[in-house]
Amino acid sequence: MRTPCGSTAPPPLAGDEARRRADLLKALADPVRLQLLSVIEESDGHEACVCDMTDRVDVAQPTVSHHLKVLVEAGLLHRERRGSWAWFRLDTARLAEIRAFLPG
């Protein structure tokens, strides 16, 4: 496709794919969520108990739980109940997918 200035441009990203990618990026676009992901990433086995994360970020436990829920719903984390605690593990394939579509 020729642009008004005469160069050839590739077609834009399809609308559905653009919305899917935007939803993933929205899930990441929060400082607390990025902090939680970094805590999990730096933990043994790339998993952490919610009880360990609450003390590492400067928000109350219900807020931590809300942010973890958003990350789970976006497919960036997996949640597993162990006894009375919830453990969260990174979905490394999903994170790799995001890295692959970012420019650079």
CA 34 to chain centre: 8
- Examine residue 81 and state whether it is found in any structural domain, yes or no: yes
- Examine residue 26 and state whether it is found in any structural domain, yes or no: no
Looking up residue 70, the CATH number of its domain turns out to be 1.10.10.10
Cβ neighbours, 10 Å, residue 102: 8
State which residues form the domain around 88: 31-101
Which long-range contacts does 57-64 make (Cβ < 8 Å, 24+ apart)?
57/32, 59/32, 63/32, 64/32, 64/36
- Per-residue pLDDT tens listing for the chain (104 residues): 556 776 777 888 899 999 999 999 999 999 999 999 999 999 999 999 998 898 899 899 999 999 999 999 999 999 999 999 999 999 999 999 999 988 87
- Examine residue 6 and state whether it is found in any structural domain, yes or no: no
> In total, how many domains does the chain have?
1
- Examine residue 54 and state whether it is found in any structural domain, yes or no: yes
